[in-house]
């Protein structure tokens, strides 16, 4: 039987007490379960602030944190790394600064100390070397982390209003405070990147390298776990490092370099920043973003790196700055023809500055192999460095030398730095610049002054951004035709001379130009195919030497011929009939000869070598049945009537023309070379050449030899060279 207690039988107060007791019992049980599941574990370390209190040797740091207003932040949930200077570090700091103690640290300085030592996210020592990126960590590639510290607006002499630094190269992005990074040096990173204690001590010669240094502080106690991060105890107070711009500005021995950089600075007013500054400080000054030209390798006031992401963990800028005296002297050298940078093309100043800017971290031990923003290794050495600093956004080196940029010291510089060669420089920039500024390859340059180019009908139209050409008595042409003509002259004027082939022009010789055409020299004169047609040679007025070759100043241009190959064969036959006459007579009576004196089967723009047997050799070919004529006397029949004889002549001529190759007796090209002749099955035929300087032996399909007659050879034609040979060449068309 159930016992039922009715509420009506109990006093009202007693029932309420029992009900309340029941509710409390249930709540107590649930709270216990909640605390057991969600409560703070007993084993969890206390927050950073509490940890510092418990350790008893961070009294000064705790005062500094309080002054900075970071007690609350470091006392509750978060995810930080704190490089924490101990009491001994602060006492040393007080002594160095000549201050009495904590009371003499103002809130602004306190904030600098705390926030520059405070890194976003918590990292143990073994994690700090990992470069964090979207694709995953690169082990041992990081030596910096972003801190909570950033500069705000500042004043600058000579400029009204407030200034704020750019946070990108050449621009500014809102909502990015340009936070500074703090560098550290850990064994894992150093060894993985081929670095040693010497690289660290180059910057900090009086600080022992311990395998875990933060700037010039040693880590006394690493990996102190806290609820809201990791503490690394250090033995020195670290203030925010200057960036490259501020360090440069604060050192007058580099004022000339700064003056040049300032030429590429602009100030852009920013309404949002002006309003933000008003809210934060109450000041109504206009705020301007200080921008460096985007054409510079980087902005020295930008605390971010190339991607403005985590890549600053693994890389930084490097700036090498010459002292004033050596830089000014160098400026006089490169501006000898312009006088000032304002008078020179803008590229001159940019090239000078960018040659001293490295878009990567240049470690002392790797100086000689690390290329600058123009991919050039240093032209100076470690011994030229007199000042070195690790800064918030990169490395700074003061040097007693200059970086001699390739655009200045190579043959290219002779045109680039001279206003009389502006058209040549423009053409080189579009076509050959990045080849001829290589200091390890020797070149010879024949200069093309603006006056000579314009006299020849060439110019550049800035309004159309196009080259123009006007033939004598003709109309102006624009576009690719004009450009191709000019570039052909340019490429004929640039020669790779690895063995100094043109160092001495007092003798005679023939040399291949950049474009595969050839020029000749004789008794200190030079000429190309167009000069031969005009009956002129170029005289050498001046010679200049560059790092990678010689530059010749002449009284004209190396021009190309407008005439076809047949025109020059005909001309040679008239001048030297015993060497070229019979071949020409056969040629002009074949279907290969056109009304324009082109040779059928050759293609405009291709290269050819014409091998012409002497009349005696032609007579021998007639006797041997390779050409039509009297086989007894060797008298040629220049106008055969039968198809068989006509075919003999056509095949003979085609076999004596090398296809798509121009070869001269300079010792450079040897081997088997294709001719214009095809077999009955359509296959290629070849001639084998053994090429030596002033000696060229030709071998036909039957290994018979023919030698080039040097005294009657090396005749320049339209992308072709015509040689006289002492024997005829036999082919096999089967």
What are the φ/ψ torsions at residue 386 (nearest 5 degrees)? Answer: -115, -5
Domain boundary (404, 434, 454) is at 404
- What burial letters (b/e) apply to 532-550, b meaning 16+ CB within 10 Å? bbeeebbeeeeeeebbbbb
Residue 252 lies in a domain: no
DSSP states of 657-707: EEET----SBS---EEEEEEEE-TTS-EEEEEEEEEBTEEEEE-TT--EEE
Same domain for 395 and 522, yes or no, is no
Same domain for 624 and 691, yes or no, is yes
Domain that holds residue 204: 48-148+181-239
**pLDDT mean over 283-306:** 97
CB 257 within 8 A of CB 322: yes
Number of domains the chain is built from: 4
**Residue 134 reports pLDDT greater than 90:** no
**Opening angle at CA 393, ends 391 and 399, nearest 5:** 55
**pLDDT mean over 597-606:** 96
- How far from chain centre, in Å, is Cα 222? 41
Residue 500 lies in a domain: yes
Residue 247 lies in a domain: no
CB 253 within 8 A of CB 324: yes
**pLDDT mean over 184-192:** 97
Domain boundary (527, 554, 581) is at 554
Same domain for 87 and 234, yes or no, is yes
Same domain for 579 and 530, yes or no, is no
Residue 220 lies in a domain: yes
Q: Compute CA distances 511 → 503, 536, 554, 607, 721, whole Å.
A: 12, 18, 17, 15, 12
Same domain for 637 and 683, yes or no, is yes
Q: What is the pLDDT of residue 16?
A: 45
pLDDT digits (tens, 9 = 90+) for 699-712: 999 999 999 999 99
**Helix (H, G, I), strand (E, B), or coil: what is residue 116?**
helix
Same domain for 60 and 191, yes or no, is yes
List the CATH number of the domain containing 335: 2.30.180
Residue 76 lies in a domain: yes
pLDDT digits (tens, 9 = 90+) for 50-89: 999 999 999 999 999 999 999 999 999 899 999 999 999 9
Same domain for 338 and 218, yes or no, is no
Same domain for 73 and 222, yes or no, is yes
**Residue 509 reports pLDDT greater than 80:** yes
| Structural element, H or E, at residue 277 | helix 271-281
Non-local (6+) Cβ contacts of 706 within 8 A are 611, 613, 617, 697, 698, 700, 725, 726, 727, 728, 729
Same domain for 358 and 229, yes or no, is no
HEC string for 580-623: HHHHHHHHHCCCCECCCCCEECECCCCCEEEEEECHHHHHHHHH
List the CATH number of the domain containing 573: 2.30.180.10
**pLDDT mean over 489-512:** 97
Could you tell me the pLDDT band of residue 94, with boundaries at 50, 70 and 90? very high
pTM assigned to the model: 0.89
Q: What is the pLDDT of residue 133?
A: 87
- Alpha-carbon span 563 to 545, nearest angstrom: 35
Enter the DSSP assignment of 561. -
pLDDT digits (tens, 9 = 90+) for 440-473: 999 999 999 999 999 999 999 999 999 999 999 9
HEC string for 353-420: HHCCEECCCCCHHHHHHCCCCCCCCCCCCHHHEEEEEEECCEEEEEECCCCCCHHHHCHHHHHHCCHH
pLDDT digits (tens, 9 = 90+) for 603-658: 999 999 999 999 999 999 999 999 999 999 999 999 999 999 999 999 999 999 99
Going 666 to 575 to 652 to 700, the CA torsion angle's sign is negative
**Residue 10 reports pLDDT greater than 50:** no
Same domain for 215 and 109, yes or no, is yes
pLDDT digits (tens, 9 = 90+) for 140-151: 999 999 999 999
Residue 439 lies in a domain: yes
CB 538 within 8 A of CB 452: no
**pLDDT mean over 298-323:** 97
pLDDT digits (tens, 9 = 90+) for 534-588: 999 999 999 999 999 999 999 999 999 999 999 999 999 999 999 999 999 999 9
- Give percent of the chain above pLDDT 70: 94
Residue 253 lies in a domain: no
Domain boundary (496, 523, 554) is at 554
Least confident interval from 66-75, 155-164, 484-493, 585-594: 155-164
Going 329 to 384 to 205 to 214, the CA torsion angle's sign is positive
Q: Bridge-partner residues for 184, per DSSP?
A: 214
- Determine how β-strand 217-226 pairs with β-strand 229-234: antiparallel
Same domain for 507 and 384, yes or no, is no
**Residue 253 reports pLDDT greater than 60:** yes
- Alpha-carbon span 330 to 349, nearest angstrom: 12
- Determine how β-strand 394-399 pairs with β-strand 317-322: parallel
- Alpha-carbon span 594 to 563, nearest angstrom: 13
Q: In what order do the strands lie in the sheet with 508-512?
A: 494-496, 443-446, 549-554, 538-546, 525-527, 518-522, 508-512
Same domain for 72 and 115, yes or no, is yes
**pLDDT mean over 353-368:** 98
Least confident interval from 31-45, 151-165, 577-591: 31-45
Q: Compute CA distances 204 → 56, 182, 217, 323, whole Å.
A: 30, 15, 10, 21
Q: What is the pLDDT of residue 139?
A: 87
Residue 118 lies in a domain: yes
Burial of 134 (0-12, 13-18, 19+ CB in 10 A): exposed
């Amino acid at each position: 039987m159930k016992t039922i207690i009715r509420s009506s039988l109990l006093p009202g107060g007693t029932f309420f007490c029992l009900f309340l007791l029941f509710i409390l019992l249930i709540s107590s049980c649930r709270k216990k379960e909640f605390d057991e599941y969600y409560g703070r574990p007993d084993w969890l370390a206390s927050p950073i602030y509490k940890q510092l209190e418990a350790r008893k040797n961070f009294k000064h740091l705790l005062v500094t944190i309080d002054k900075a207003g970071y007690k609350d932040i470091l006392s509750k949930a978060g995810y930080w790394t704190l490089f924490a200077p101990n009491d001994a570090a602060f006492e040393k700091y007080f002594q160095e600064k000549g201050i009495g103690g904590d009371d003499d640290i103002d809130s602004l300085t306190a904030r600098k100390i705390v926030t520059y030592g405070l890194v976003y996210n918590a990292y143990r020592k073994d994690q700090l070397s990992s470069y964090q990126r979207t694709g995953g960590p690169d082990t041992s590639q990081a030596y910096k982390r972003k801190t909570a510290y950033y500069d705000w607006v500042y004043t600058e002499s000579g400029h009204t209003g407030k200034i704020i630094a750019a946070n990108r190269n050449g621009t500014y992005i809102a909502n990015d405070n340009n936070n500074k990074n703090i560098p550290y040096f850990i064994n894992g990173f150093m060894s993985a990147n081929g670095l040693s204690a010497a690289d660290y001590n180059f910057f900090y010669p009086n600080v022992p390298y311990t395998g875990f240094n933060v700037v010039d502080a040693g880590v006394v106690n690493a990996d102190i776990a806290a609820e809201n991060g990791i503490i690394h105890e250090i033995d020195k107070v670290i203030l925010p490092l200057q960036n490259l711009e501020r360090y440069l500005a604060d050192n007058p021995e580099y004022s000339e370099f700064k003056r040049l950089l300032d030429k590429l600075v602009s100030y852009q007013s920013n309404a949002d920043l002006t309003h933000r500054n008003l809210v934060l400080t109450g000041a109504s000054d206009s705020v301007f973003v200080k921008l460096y030209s985007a054409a510079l390798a980087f902005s020295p006031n930008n605390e971010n790196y190339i991607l403005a992401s985590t890549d600053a963990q693994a890389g930084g800028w490097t700036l090498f700055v010459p002292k004033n005296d050596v830089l000014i002297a160098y400026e006089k050298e490169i501006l000898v023809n312009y006088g000032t940078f304002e008078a020179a093309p803008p590229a001159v100043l940019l090239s000078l500055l960018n040659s001293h800017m490295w878009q990567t971290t240049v470690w002392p031990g790797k100086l000689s192999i690390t290329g600058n923003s123009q991919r050039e290794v240093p032209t100076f050495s470690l011994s030229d460095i007199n000042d070195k600093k690790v800064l918030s956004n990169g490395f700074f080196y003061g040097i007693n030398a200059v970086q001699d940029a390739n655009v200045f010291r190579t043959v290219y510089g002779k045109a680039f730095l001279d206003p009389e060669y502006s058209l040549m420089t423009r053409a080189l920039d579009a076509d050959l610049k990045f080849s001829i500024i290589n200091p390890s390859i020797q070149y010879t340059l024949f200069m093309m002054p603006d006056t000579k180019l314009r006299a020849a009908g060439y110019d550049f139209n800035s309004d159309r951004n196009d080259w123009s050409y006007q033939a004598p008595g003709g109309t102006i042409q624009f576009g690719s035709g004009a450009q191709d003509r000019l570039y052909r002259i340019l490429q004929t004027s640039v020669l790779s001379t690895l063995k100094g082939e043109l160092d001495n022009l007092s003798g005679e010789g023939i040399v291949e130009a950049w474009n595969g055409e050839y020029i000749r020299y004789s008794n200190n004169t030079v000429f190309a195919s167009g000069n031969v047609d005009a009956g002129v040679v170029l005289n050498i007025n001046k010679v200049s030497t560059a790092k990678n070759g010689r530059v010749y100043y002449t009284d004209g241009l190396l021009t190309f011929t407008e005439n076809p190959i047949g025109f020059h064969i005909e001309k040679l036959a008239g001048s030297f009939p015993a060497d070229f006459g019979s071949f020409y007579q056969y040629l002009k009576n074949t279907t290969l000869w056109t009304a324009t004196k082109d040779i059928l089967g050759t293609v405009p723009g291709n290269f050819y070598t014409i091998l012409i047997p002497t009349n005696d050799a032609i007579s021998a070919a007639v006797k041997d049945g390779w050409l039509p004529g009297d086989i007894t006397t060797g008298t040629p029949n220049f106008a055969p009537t039968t198809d068989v004889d006509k075919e003999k002549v056509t095949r003979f001529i085609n076999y004596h023309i090398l296809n798509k190759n121009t070869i001269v007796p300079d010792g450079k090209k040897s081997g088997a070379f294709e001719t214009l002749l095809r077999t009955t099955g359509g296959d290629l035929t070849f001639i084998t050449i053994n090429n030596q300087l002033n000696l060229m032996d030709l071998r036909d399909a039957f290994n018979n030899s023919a030698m080039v007659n040097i005294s009657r050879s090396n005749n320049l034609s339209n992308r072709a060279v015509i040689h006289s040979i002492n024997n005829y060449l036999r082919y096999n068309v089967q």
